[in-house]
């Protein structure tokens, strides 16, 4: 008797296994071998390598191509010493070949919208694109000094939603804009860390630093927000503190 074909009722697509191309395997190796490295060797990161990593960082997707990210590479000895102190002297900062402040900007969306129009690959810029960057983007971000327009904007959004159905949630407050900029900048930061790995180097993203002190040191204004500090360099033998673990996928992924 033929054994029951248990796959009969299952969509064959769902049973497909991934195709392990060399590209996929290389990518998986980069992601799987990236660890938060807390001690680096004395080997420097060449400028050209760092520049390529930053280029790849800036290829991350970002909202409307407004690119609210900035990267401060702290190379001067004097600033470096203080920056390490502002990271409370942790090894990942102290031993890093390069120390980078990854910064999100909340104050240049308008300026960058104008720049996108100037550098847009299709010239003259199509009407729809032009009105998007002059009108829609402004409506999305504008909130007035000290969020003065927030309440009016929120009320208008509720009326719009009732009349028109779903609407894109605009940014009502400074914290909303900061959240938007952080979100975008983190995408770039992840590319940066993976790129360092692909180049044979490593990184440690740090949330443990004194943000006001670090902003003072780097001369940053209220429109700059340090999303994370990244220590980068060559992995030392004792650079990883324990084996990697993550919660079960079933706990954090929901099929609905």
Footprint (CB under 8 A) of a second copy, residues 80-99: 85-88
Query: Which tokens in the block code for residue 54?
Result: 């930053």
Whether the Cβ atoms of residue 96 and residue 231 lie closer than 8 Å to each other: yes
The correct pick among 76, 134, 138, 155 for binding a second copy (CB under 8 A) is 76
194 contact partners, CB below 8 Å, separation of at least 6: 30, 31, 34, 56
As measured in angstroms, the least distance from the Cβ of 226 to a second copy is 9
Query: Which tokens in the block code for residue 76?
Result: 């001067």
The correct pick among 4, 8, 9, 15 for binding a second copy (CB under 8 A) is 15
Task: Give me the 161-200 binding string for a second copy, x by CB under 8 A, dash otherwise.
Answer: x---xxxxx---x-x--xxx-xxx-xx-xxx-xxx--xxx
In the complex with a second copy, the residue whose CB is nearer, 74 or 95, is 74
Using CB under 8 A as the binding criterion, the count of chain residues that bind a second copy stands at 104
CA distances from 184 to 96, 103, 104 (A): 25, 10, 8
Residue 207: Cβ within 10 Å count: 9
Query: Which tokens in the block code for residue 8?
Result: 């009969």
Q: Which stretch binds a second copy (CB under 8 A): 1-9, 118-126, 142-150, 232-240?
A: 118-126
Orientation of helix 174-198 relative to helix 22-33, angle to 10°: 110
As measured in angstroms, the least distance from the Cβ of 171 to a second copy is 10
154 binds a second copy (CB under 8 A): no
The correct pick among 213, 223, 236, 240 for binding a second copy (CB under 8 A) is 213
């Amino acid at each position: 008797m033929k054994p029951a074909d248990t796959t009969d009722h299952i969509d064959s697509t769902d049973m497909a296994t991934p195709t392990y191309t060399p590209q996929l395997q290389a990518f998986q190796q980069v992601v799987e071998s990236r660890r938060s490295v807390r001690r680096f060797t004395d080997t420097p990161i060449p400028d050209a390598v760092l520049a390529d990593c930053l280029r790849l960082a800036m290829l991350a997707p970002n909202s409307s191509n407004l690119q609210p990210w900035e990267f401060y590479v702290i190379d001067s000895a004097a600033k470096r010493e203080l920056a390490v102190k502002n990271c409370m002297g942790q090894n990942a900062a102290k031993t890093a070949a390069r120390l980078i402040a990854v910064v999100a900007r909340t104050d240049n969306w308008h300026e960058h919208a104008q720049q996108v129009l100037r550098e847009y690959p299709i010239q003259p810029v199509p009407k729809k694109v032009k009105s998007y960057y002059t009108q829609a983007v402004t409506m999305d971000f504008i909130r007035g000094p000290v969020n003065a327009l927030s309440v009016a904007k929120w009320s208008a959004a509720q009326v719009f939603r009732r009349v028109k159905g779903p609407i894109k949630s605009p940014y009502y407050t400074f914290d909303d804009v900061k959240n938007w900029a952080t979100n975008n900048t983190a995408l770039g930061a992840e590319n940066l860390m993976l790129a360092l790995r692909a180049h044979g180097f490593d990184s440690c993203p740090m949330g443990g630093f004194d943000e006001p002190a670090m902003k003072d040191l780097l001369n940053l204004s209220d429109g700059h927000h340090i999303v994370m500090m990244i220590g980068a360099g060559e992995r030392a033998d004792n650079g990883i503190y324990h084996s990697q673990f993550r919660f079960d996928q079933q706990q954090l992924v929901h099929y609905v």
